[in-house]
Structure 1
Amino acid sequence: MTESPLAALDDQQREAASTLRGPVCILAGAGTGKTRTITHRIAHGVDTGAYSPGRVMAVTFTTKAAGELRGRLRGLGIEGVAARTFHAAALAQLNFFWPQVAGDTAPAIIDSKVRLLGQAADGIGLRLDAATLRDVASQIEWRKVTMRSLEQYAAARPNGIPSLAIGRLVDLQREYERVKDERRQLDFEDVLLACAGMIESEPRVAAAVREQYRHFTVDEFQDVSPVQHRLLELWLGDRRDVCVVGDASQTVYSFAGADPRYLLDFASRYDDARVVRLERNYRSDAAVLAVANELMRGRPGALHLATDSEPGPAPEVIAFDDDAAEASGIADRVAAQLSRGIAARDIAVLYRLNAQSAPLLAALSARGIAATVLGGKRFWDLPEVRQALMALRGASVAPLAGSFASTVRDVLRSLGLTDDPPPAGGALRDSWEARAAVLRLAEDAPEGTTLRAFTDELAARAKAQHEPALQTVTLATLHAAKGLEWDHVHLIGMNEGLLPISYATTFEQVDEERRLAYVGITRAARSLSLSWSRASGARERQRSRFLQEIGTGTVREAGARASRGGRPRL
């Protein structure tokens, strides 16, 4: 490495990246370059001889994020670092050590709790629909990641779920565990629990793991659950060489067991911890940051984001007559942005609930605007993409009749790709966009790429769930949008009952909803609109308290009302 990894960092990032030893806590606000800081810190450790790459584990929460970490480290000339999710790291250790400890292979991992729960329900005479089974699966996940026994779970959730009393809910979970054990199977959460239990009970396993990994970095530490934190403690043993990175203002998974106190209390747990704050934002316009800062003013652990760029127009607050007018009005605004030359991929519409996407999709489709809903079927699992991969793999065994890119284009054309997209949205446009995304990957491939190498690269991307960017407008829930960014964001449904959601009744639950709004706001780079509707059907609605908290100093009202056609009445 010819240039120091610290050279390309700002002062705050450099302070974090140059602190290589001891407990380190990096409080990294949205858009402050935390992934850059993490990877350059590891590269600096390797460059100076403080770290051996094979002794470093970087833990994050998604397969995609782990793949990005590996890719960035590779770009810095660093190979051999274990960049994994908690589950991937635990599963690898479980598969390696289980035969040594138990004398046989590790149990199989089930791919669906719902299917097994249905069988368990039948076994105790319960007839439950799929929605209820999914709710039960969520309860099992929460119980396990918070490390509660069935008795402790019943005490913590005495009301059960709406369609199932706590007694029967416990019976069903007990039967689920019995059937699973009988079949020698583990679920996703069992992997963490079993790995932690094995390290805790087997000194030779603990010693081997701690010998292998000496330096730990944990991203998104605000989303760590009790079982993940316990596993990290066991990996560390009595050592203190851990760096955690997070932002308490982006804790939005408390319902799934995440506990931001591990981040907020890190400096109390380690009295010699070095705490570094990253507050220089490289993503958002100053006007967008002003709204975000105002919303989180005074909240525990809140960072004050700043940028050197000049502020653009203040974000807009738009009131519509009802939900239909809101969907129509936002679709009109998206159409206007596209007509000004803004790329569809740079526009997102965000919302609290999945159900809010349907009227938006209809309104956009009516205007011939293609949109992709995040959280739907994974790109690499789409039938059109799987068909394209199979056809390209088949073509790779024959001699090329033309250039690499032209061969890929010809194969995709044989499957239905045309030069121009279908004029309207819908399934045909979705299929076209998927095939076009594969073609763009080929067009962006390095010079000299062979068809065989290209198909191998696609297979590797599919395994890592590294999805290409589609040339469409994005629709996403606030949870699905976390970690992403767009130039132009429309955050809809800023109503009481939606954001915050109606079942957020405690102070902590409302605070989590506020953090969700903050996540949505900080996805925007250049422009932001916040909208709400005065009615849903015959029911009147109120604007969100979060709009009241933001106030009028950082936003501009686009109009007191808007008609059903979506145009503001000034």
Structure 2
Amino acid sequence: MTLTGEYPAEKASLLDEPHGNLVLLAPPGCGKTEALALRAMGLIESKRVTAPNKLLALAFSNRARDNIGGRIRQLTQPAIYRQLVDLTNFHGLAARIYQAHASTIGLDPEAIMPERGWLRQVLTTLSDHHPTRQAAMDTLTRVKLQPLSDEEIASELERSGNDLAITAERIRHDSRRLDYSDLLRHAQRILLNEGVAELYALHYSAIIVDEFQDLSPQQLSIVSSISRNNVTYAGDLGQAIYSFTGADPEAVLATLRRLPDVRIIEFTESYRSSPAVLDVLNAVGKPLGLLEVRSAEPATWKLGGFSGAAAYVTPEAEAHFVINSAKLILDHNPNASVGAISRAGYRRKALDQLLKEFSATHPVFVWDSPVHRPDILRILRKEMARIRPFGGSQQEQLEQLKQASIAAFEPSDVESIDDVQEACAFLADRVQEGSSVVTALDAIGASGNPERTVGPGLHVLNAHIGKGQQFDWVFVIGLEEGHVPMFLAKTDDEITEEHRALVVMVSRARHGIVGTRALETSTRYGPRASSASRWWDAFENASRNLGPALHLSLDAHLNSQING
């Protein structure tokens, strides 16, 4: 095989790996995506994947899909990639299966595809009580993790006694609409037909699956229906933060360990993060029993990287520290990427209020809207340039833009189509505020290249959105009880998932990691004292720079880097 000498032995061996089934356990920054790409290349070069068959590359999200696709393209010739690699996420695969074979189980192939937020909107119109809405959402998620027909779902809901879930499901069914959970359960049902499953098994010679810890047993069943003998799974239990979608990482990993002819490979060297970042990551992750990660090349990090922790009186003071620190970093290095990450959006309010002024001098990217996805933004601008010369009202232009942008994607790419619709809703809000569509588009920056690291500037986001991404510097804000972990987490399993969310936030950092908290936070009833997160001590004790002088320590570190 080619390229063997360019990679560490543990990864280079994937080019010639004889086992049919592989499970790659890779903590953050240990090169999981690169390992999957090497496995894909090895399968292609060894002729275990040949035309007309293909390699199916599956990811959990659009960002993860784009990451793995970019890495595989770097290692293969464009013509070979187009001919032999089929890249999608689980909802995209489920949509293809549904649209092609729905009639085999008596379903309508023309049903309305899922729209993000539709179910929550329906529940909101039916109830103004949040706990009641959440209970209905949880019930619907739970019953639809089984390969049941609509009639069987209705019966299960009747047995649950959740009237709100029953009503919402009836509305969905009567409107000939699918939610994302319906797409997956119907795909699972369709693949129970041995003839259909065999079609896909014949089409795909091998499968690679990214982020297996985010899979539900249902999604694993979909993969297993297509192939049980030539599948590579990669993931990390420490980043398992999607139980609310039905993910069951322990059960999935237990199933993977029982696969025929399976080999388990563990990676423990980080190629992403500095020793300072890894000290914090290991300290925070130790109670979870995670593998300890060491730097693969510690000498390459000037001063060993940076870590720090500090408490501020209010979220406003904390936010000014983050903004001033981001300015300091970007003034020293305009090419740096800085991530400001909170567990939930409400805790970012003080920071968000400072972004407009900051954006006058430095790039700012808020990841809350899909309009910041580079591929979505590129298509919106391209289609707007074509539409604009024909005139029309702003509303007419916006509707034309939405329809033209949707048409740019395959019908099965339901998440990208959903992202286009949400992005256009974002633009519609700007138009209502008095902007033109063109001006609104011009004011938006993409959050970087989805196939590589994110671009220069300050990136503001929540924990789940940033999963799979990396920044030169990360500020984890709001390390207080009630936020990290969230106040909604009550059971041991929920607390464990909150702990993993913190691991995800910390592990996004390459050179520097900083954790902050506020001594008091704002509520609808006024300020209240807040206590440190139960994981604060581990973060603080592993950090190299502490307290009120943290900004000065950061400045000295940056100056030392330049002078050194």
- TM band (smaller chain): 0.7 to 0.9
Which residue of 1 is the match for residue 509 of structure 2? 524
SS of the equivalent of 2:48 reads coil
* 129 and 378 in structure 1: CA distance in 2 versus 1, 3 angstrom threshold: farther
Question: 1:111 aligned to 110, 115, 121, which one?
Answer: 115
Note the alpha carbon deviations across 1:394-437, whole angstroms, 9 max, x for none: 6999xxxxxxxxxxxxxxxxxxxxxxxxxxxx999x98895388
Contact conserved, 1:113 with 1:187, CA < 8 A, in 2? Answer: no
Question: 1:225 aligned to 197, 204, 216, which one?
Answer: 216
Question: 1:353 aligned to 330, 337, 344, which one?
Answer: 344
Distance, in Å, in 1 between the alignment partners of 2:298 and 2:55 is 36
Which stretch of structure 1 is more off in the superposition, 182-191 or 539-548?
182-191
* 477 and 127 in structure 1: CA distance in 2 versus 1, 3 angstrom threshold: closer
Question: 2:225 aligned to 234, 238, 249, which one?
Answer: 234
| Superposed counterparts of 1:134-145, under 5 Å | 136-137=136-137, 139-145=139-145
Distance, in Å, in 1 between the alignment partners of 2:440 and 2:456 is 7
Distance, in Å, in 2 between the alignment partners of 1:150 and 1:171 is 11
Q: Which amino acid aligns with 1:216?
A: I
Question: 1:197 aligned to 189, 193, 208, which one?
Answer: 189
Contact conserved, 1:437 with 1:468, CA < 8 A, in 2? Answer: no
Question: 2:101 aligned to 97, 101, 118, which one?
Answer: 97
Contact conserved, 1:437 with 1:470, CA < 8 A, in 2? Answer: no
SS of the equivalent of 1:476 reads strand
Which stretch of structure 1 is more off in the superposition, 135-144 or 355-364?
135-144
Q: Which amino acid aligns with 1:47?
A: E
Which residue of 1 is the match for residue 470 of structure 2? 485
Distance, in Å, in 2 between the alignment partners of 1:49 and 1:324 is 59
Question: 2:310 aligned to 287, 307, 318, which one?
Answer: 318
TM-score by length of 1: 0.75
Note if 1:304 corresponds to 2:293.
yes
Which residue of 2 is the match for residue 435 of structure 1? 442
Q: CA deviation at 1:198?
A: 1.6
Contact conserved, 2:70 with 2:451, CA < 8 A, in 1? Answer: no
SS of the equivalent of 2:298 reads coil
Which residue of 2 is the match for residue 338 of structure 1? 330
Which residue of 1 is the match for residue 423 of structure 2? none
Distance, in Å, in 2 between the alignment partners of 1:132 and 1:383 is 35
Distance, in Å, in 1 between the alignment partners of 2:315 and 2:446 is 38
Note if 1:502 corresponds to 2:487.
yes
Distance, in Å, in 1 between the alignment partners of 2:312 and 2:446 is 40
Distance, in Å, in 1 between the alignment partners of 2:378 and 2:542 is 48
Contact conserved, 1:249 with 1:296, CA < 8 A, in 2? Answer: yes
Q: CA deviation at 1:256?
A: 2.1
Distance, in Å, in 2 between the alignment partners of 1:323 and 1:146 is 44
Which stretch of structure 1 is more off in the superposition, 134-143 or 355-364?
134-143
Which residue of 2 is the match for residue 187 of structure 1? 179
Question: 1:363 aligned to 354, 357, 363, which one?
Answer: 354
Note the alpha carbon deviations across 1:131-167, whole angstroms, 9 max, x for none: 9768745653354236695776799xxxxxxxxxx84
Contact conserved, 2:454 with 2:471, CA < 8 A, in 1? Answer: no
Note the alpha carbon deviations across 1:198-256, whole angstroms, 9 max, x for none: 221x22212222222232211100000122122122222xx422211000111111122
Q: CA deviation at 1:107?
A: 2.7
Contact conserved, 1:433 with 1:470, CA < 8 A, in 2? Answer: no
SS of the equivalent of 2:6 reads coil
* 381 and 66 in structure 1: CA distance in 2 versus 1, 3 angstrom threshold: closer
Which residue of 2 is the match for residue 44 of structure 1? 42
Q: CA deviation at 1:267?
A: 5.6
Note the alpha carbon deviations across 1:282-328, whole angstroms, 9 max, x for none: 11111101110121125245353432223525411111012121112
Note the alpha carbon deviations across 1:522-561, whole angstroms, 9 max, x for none: 1111111111111114311121221223452443313399
* 113 and 484 in structure 1: CA distance in 2 versus 1, 3 angstrom threshold: closer
Question: 2:8 aligned to 7, 10, 28, which one?
Answer: 10
Note if 1:295 corresponds to 2:302.
no
* 224 and 472 in structure 1: CA distance in 2 versus 1, 3 angstrom threshold: same
Distance, in Å, in 1 between the alignment partners of 2:284 and 2:473 is 19
SS of the equivalent of 2:93 reads helix
Question: 2:23 aligned to 25, 34, 40, which one?
Answer: 25
Q: Which amino acid aligns with 2:266?
A: R
* 378 and 262 in structure 1: CA distance in 2 versus 1, 3 angstrom threshold: farther
Contact conserved, 2:377 with 2:446, CA < 8 A, in 1? Answer: no
Contact conserved, 2:273 with 2:295, CA < 8 A, in 1? Answer: no
**Number of paired residues?**
489
Question: 2:206 aligned to 197, 215, 224, which one?
Answer: 215
Distance, in Å, in 2 between the alignment partners of 1:121 and 1:433 is 29
| Superposed counterparts of 1:402-481, under 5 Å | 435=442, 472-481=457-466
SS of the equivalent of 2:167 reads helix
| Superposed counterparts of 1:19-168, under 5 Å | 19-52=17-50, 54-75=53-74, 76-77=76-77, 78-79=80-81, 80-99=84-103, 102=106, 105-111=109-115, 114=118, 118=122, 126=126, 128=128, 136-137=136-137, 139-145=139-145, 167=161
Which stretch of structure 1 is more off in the superposition, 83-92 or 95-104?
95-104
* 154 and 276 in structure 1: CA distance in 2 versus 1, 3 angstrom threshold: farther
**Which structure 2 residue ranges, 5 or more long, are not aligned?**
391-432, 552-564
* 501 and 286 in structure 1: CA distance in 2 versus 1, 3 angstrom threshold: same
* 20 and 378 in structure 1: CA distance in 2 versus 1, 3 angstrom threshold: farther
Note if 1:373 corresponds to 2:372.
no
Contact conserved, 1:147 with 1:226, CA < 8 A, in 2? Answer: no
Q: Which amino acid aligns with 2:200?
A: V
Which stretch of structure 1 is more off in the superposition, 131-140 or 284-293?
131-140
Which residue of 2 is the match for residue 445 of structure 1? none
Q: CA deviation at 1:185?
A: 2.9
Note if 1:541 corresponds to 2:534.
no
Higher helix share: 2
Distance, in Å, in 1 between the alignment partners of 2:59 and 2:489 is 28
Distance, in Å, in 1 between the alignment partners of 2:541 and 2:119 is 50
* 468 and 26 in structure 1: CA distance in 2 versus 1, 3 angstrom threshold: closer
Q: CA deviation at 1:102?
A: 4.4
Question: 1:515 aligned to 483, 487, 500, which one?
Answer: 500
* 281 and 348 in structure 1: CA distance in 2 versus 1, 3 angstrom threshold: same
SS of the equivalent of 1:69 reads helix
TM-score by length of 2: 0.76
SS of the equivalent of 2:191 reads helix
Q: Which amino acid aligns with 2:54?
A: R
Distance, in Å, in 2 between the alignment partners of 1:48 and 1:387 is 40
Consecutive aligned runs of 4 or more in structure 1 exceeding 6 Å deviation: 129-132, 150-155, 380-387, 394-397, 430-433, 436-441, 465-468
Aligned-residue CA RMSD (Å): 3.9
Q: CA deviation at 1:391?
A: 5.1
Contact conserved, 1:267 with 1:275, CA < 8 A, in 2? Answer: no
Which stretch of structure 1 is more off in the superposition, 504-513 or 284-293?
504-513
Distance, in Å, in 2 between the alignment partners of 1:28 and 1:339 is 34
Q: Which amino acid aligns with 1:27?
A: L
Larger Rg: 1
* 287 and 378 in structure 1: CA distance in 2 versus 1, 3 angstrom threshold: same
